[in-house]
């Protein structure tokens, strides 16, 4: 099972790289939309 996953990842390395970049862009976008209160712990 693991050898199949590793072999597929090596054969389709550009697809794996594209998926990683897409997840990075999506995560960055979600991080920018996340409401963060800077003064949450201030009295």
pLDDT tens for each residue of the chain, 43 residues long: 999 999 999 999 999 999 999 999 999 999 888 887 766 665 5
Locus of tokens 């963060």: 36
Per-residue model confidence (pLDDT) at position 39: 67
Per-residue model confidence (pLDDT) at position 36: 75
Q: What is the pTM of this model?
A: 0.67
> SS3 for 8?
helix
Contact status, residue 16 vs residue 9, Cβ threshold 8 Å:
yes
Locus of tokens 């939309």: 33
């Amino acid at each position: 099972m693991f050898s199949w996953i590793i072999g597929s990842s090596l054969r389709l390395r550009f697809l794996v790289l594209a998926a990683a970049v897409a997840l990075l862009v999506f995560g960055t976008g979600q991080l920018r939309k996340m409401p963060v209160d800077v003064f949450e712990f201030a009295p």
